[in-house]
Chain A
């Protein structure tokens, strides 16, 4: 069956460092991969989308890579700030309307 896994343990890093979050998938051939941010008590908010034929996408301090051979996406936040603390979700779709979400990784950026 399809499986999307993210770091189950929380990731704690120091302010100013680069946070790297991992999303691995099996039994899936996604056409698109997305990353969302979720704050406590709020709904997920879209951050970035990357297509299967793209290796890397950037937006301000965010960078996403997509390796369809390794079946993995890495999500980087450079110069991290305490305001970046949240849960980050990866989500995959084969091109239709159905998004399948990963389990999420909680990031905490400490002063």
Chain B
């Protein structure tokens, strides 16, 4: 039973398009995250939501907009895609205990911009 699932797994699209990535967790966690992993494998936090409220918003272009309809879902919408957006995007979740926030990751969405 997949704990954190992302769709789609692969996304190939043209520059300038708008696309969305969906994430769902069945762990009952309060907090969800989006990370970007670039070609050098560096994993960087983008956003975090706690009980549907935005709590972390790193320096990310405003073409990226997260949306959390409920605490089990966190989607990422990207407008006007650019070549530099090509990366693997990971969703994660954690129980908001404040004790080190161990995170559970999905298997990523590989976004390729042509």
Indicate, yes or no, whether A interacts with B. Answer: yes
Given contacts A41-B107, A43-B105, contact A96 B45 (CB under 8 A): no
Counting chain A CB atoms within 10 Å of each CB, which of B41, B50, B104, B106 scores highest? B41
| CB-defined contacts of B56 to chain A, threshold 8 Å | 97-98
| CB-defined contacts of B41 to chain A, threshold 8 Å | 38, 87, 103-104
Interface residues of B (CB under 8 A from A): 4, 31, 33, 40-45, 48, 50, 55-56, 90, 92, 94, 96, 98-108
Q: How many A-B Cβ pairs are below 8 Å? A: 62
Cα separation A92 to B30 with both chains bound (whole Å): 20
Cα separation A105 to B87 with both chains bound (whole Å): 19
Contact among B40, B104, B108 for A46, CB-based, below 8 A: B104
Report the nearest A residue to B9, measured CB to CB: A41
Query: A101, B100: Cβ atoms under 8 Å?
Result: no
Given contacts A101-B42, A103-B41, contact A95 B104 (CB under 8 A): no
Query: A44, B43: Cβ atoms under 8 Å?
Result: yes
A42: CB under 8 A from chain B?
Answer: yes
In whole Å, how far is B32's beta carbon from the nearest beta carbon of chain A?
10
In whole Å, how far is B74's beta carbon from the nearest beta carbon of chain A?
13
Given contacts A43-B4, A43-B92, contact A101 B44 (CB under 8 A): yes
A89: CB under 8 A from chain B?
Answer: yes
Per the 8 Å Cβ criterion, residues 73-111 of A in contact with B are 87, 89, 93, 95-101, 103-104
